Amino acid sequence: MSELKYSRDHEWLRVEADGTVTIGITDYAQKELGDVVYVELPEVGREVRQDEDAAVVESVKAASEVKMPVAGSVVAVNEALADHPETVNSDPTGEGWFLRLKPSSPEQIAGLMSEADYQAYVAGIKK
């Protein structure tokens, strides 16, 4: 598995072998949300801009928009989340992924944080 990249809005991104990117929310984000009860995903084929709200995750505590860390075209969504939204809590960086994009500006990936940078960022929030 390739390394994850992170946004300041608590999304993660993984570049796949075919050049697409898989996107989800971080472990920190799912813990802050609490028990996830519903996930609304965009339609396949939708074009999204970087930082655009493209999905919604609802928990027993709140609803939160999922911002896209990069621009691109949605090529797949995790339809299993419709019946099992709790997967976001149990495996946020694995089976709890939200969508896959074909990035339109792959250079945007370089602007995301490494895992070490993201952990330092989160540590700063907790203080």
pLDDT in tens, 80-115: 999 999 999 999 999 999 999 999 999 999 999 999
Cα–Cα distance for residue pair 86/14, rounded to 1 Å: 21
* pLDDT, position 1: 45
pLDDT at 79 over 60: yes
CA-angle at 48, arms to 41 and 114, nearest 5°: 90
* pLDDT, position 2: 64
Specify the length of the chain in residues: 127
* pLDDT, position 33: 95
Q: Please, which pLDDT band fits residue 127 given cuts at 50, 70 and 90?
A: low
> Could you tell me the domains of the chain?
4-122 (2.40.50.100)
Cα–Cα distance for residue pair 6/101, rounded to 1 Å: 15
Cα–Cα distance for residue pair 110/44, rounded to 1 Å: 25
Q: Which residues pair with 66 in a beta bridge?
A: 55
Calculated CA dihedral for residues 33, 11, 6, 27, nearest 10 degrees: 30
- Segment 114-125, tens digit of pLDDT: 999 999 999 998
- Output the pTM of the full model: 0.94
Residue from 13, 119, 28, 2 nearest 69 by CA: 13
Per-residue CA distances from 15 to 19, 59, 62, 87, 101 (Å):
6, 27, 29, 21, 10
Q: Please, which pLDDT band fits residue 14 given cuts at 50, 70 and 90?
A: very high
